[in-house]
Structure formats: C-alpha cells, structure tokens
A = this chain, B = another copy of it.
Amino acid sequence: MKARITVTLKKGVLDPQGKAIEGALGTLGFEGVGGVRQGKVFDVELAHDDKEKAETDLTAMCEQLLANTVIENYAIEIL
C-alpha cells in the first residue's frame, strides 16, 4: 500500500525559502506570482494492506518524526 504525506508550513509562519523562490521567479520574468510557499512530500510504501492501521501508523509517523506540528500541518493521502 502506498501513501503520500504532504507537510506544509502553517499560515502565518514565515517561509524565507518560498520568498526566495518568489523573487527568483520575478527575476526570470514570470509576472503575477502572488506568493510561493514550500513544503515537503513523503511517499511511503507500507508492507500491509490494512487501510485503518495504515492511517493510524501514518498519523503517528507525522506526529513523531515527519512534521513539526508547532509550525507545520500535515495531510495523509492513501493512494
């Protein structure tokens, strides 16, 4: 079973990397870019096929390792 976890910065948290990308896009001539926020994505392959157990496990993985829940949100998507 495959799953995708997307970790993004919470609203209001400064994102200097996103700001840098926004500046670079402007330099390259792209107009009308109102903002860029960068996040992370994790593609996790699980050995079993139990969807409920997978969701519980993936939530625990996010809480314990993959996301800093003080400043980041995470979304779990079973593929």
Contact = CB atoms under 8 A, between A and B. Distances in A.
A34 interface: yes
A40 to B, nearest CB: 6
A76 interface: no
Copies in the complex: 2
Contacts of A47: 31-34
19 contacts: A18-B42, A21-B42, A24-B65, A25-B61, A25-B65, A28-B61, A30-B60, A32-B47, A33-B46, A33-B47, A35-B44, A36-B44, A37-B42, A37-B43, A38-B41, A38-B43, A39-B42, A40-B40, A41-B41
Interface of A: 6, 8, 18, 21, 24-25, 28, 30-48, 57, 60-61, 64-66
